[in-house]
Amino acid sequence: MSERHTVLRSMHDLGLAAWFGGSLMGAVGVNGAAAKVEDARQRLPVASTGWAKWTPINAAAIGAHLIGAAGEMVTESGRVATQKGVAGMSAIKTALTIAALAATGYSRMLGMKIEHAGSQPSLGVTEPSEMTPPDIAASQRKMKVLQWMIPALTGALIVVTSFAGEQQKSGQVMRGVMGRAGGLVRIPMMLMRMPTMMASMGIRRGMTMRRGR
């Protein structure tokens, strides 16, 4: 438990930070700036160019995060098995990661569709105009939700990661291990007490039947 895994943790944290920061900056900065372009037909191409330049960096960041997360899962497998609360935290992290990956992948697919549409009139990157083709307008409306969903999910991952760091403190580890051990000890103790409890119930039932007579 005391071993250091600096490289894995750095990949995990830096990758997640870039994933969160890039998605938030894109929603606020890239999309916001493109919406201010004077020519309504250039708003989508400008935003698409910005996102296309960021995509390789974002992919590398996500890859680094996933490698770091997988490595940490392996190195911390002992704590998952022995420390109370760690398994639940790991399950939440996994679910959030899968959701963030799905949202990011779907967002990129929609972004490529908008990019290939070329110069289409639009009020903003995620706000179609009456002149925007229906299929592109539908993609824009979906992107309007996804552009905030991705930073929300990755931000939640950062919070859970902070909580996971708290669980690694020596006091938390000790309490978690004792809590897990206590739960395991209670089961055989309850099994040992069952004959006595059943016997007691039988005596009480017999006394009740006698009184009824």
pLDDT of 76 > 60? The answer is yes
Which tokens belong to 12?
A: 């995990």
Q: What is the pLDDT of residue 169?
A: 56
User: How far apart, in Å, are the Cα atoms of 169 and each of 47, 90, 166?
Assistant: 44, 16, 6
pLDDT at 106 over 80: yes
pLDDT tens for 166-183 read: 766 555 445 544 555 454
pLDDT digits (tens, 9 = 90+) for 27-62: 999 999 999 999 999 999 999 999 999 999 999 999
Task: Compute the distance between CA of residue 137 and CA of residue 141 in angstroms, rounded to an integer.
Answer: 6
Distance of CA 180 to the CA centre of its chain: 25
pLDDT confidence band for 164 (50 / 70 / 90):
confident
What type of residue sits at position 187?
Answer: I
Q: Using the predicted structure, report yes or no on whether residue 185 has a pLDDT greater than 70.
A: no
Mention every residue, 6+ apart, whose C-beta is less than 8 A from residue 117.
44, 133, 136
pTM for the complete prediction?
A: 0.75
Assigned token pair, 108? 């990129």
Q: Which two tokens stand for residue 47?
A: 């935003």
Provide the β-strand partners of residue 104.
none
pLDDT digits (tens, 9 = 90+) for 18-33: 999 999 999 999 999 9
Contact 78, 23 (CB under 8 A): no
| Residue 188 tokens, joined | 């055989």
What's the mean per-residue pLDDT of the chain? Answer: 82
Average pLDDT of 49-78?
A: 92
Q: Phi first, then psi: give them for residue 131, nearest 5 degrees.
A: -90, -10
Domain coordinates in residue numbering, the chain: 6-168, 170-213
Residue 189: per-residue pLDDT:
53
CA distances from 170 to 91, 140, 160 (A): 22, 49, 18
Phi, psi of 77 (to 5 degrees): -60, -30
Token pair for 202: 């039988």
Identity of residue 195: P
List phi, psi (to 5°) of 128.
-70, 160
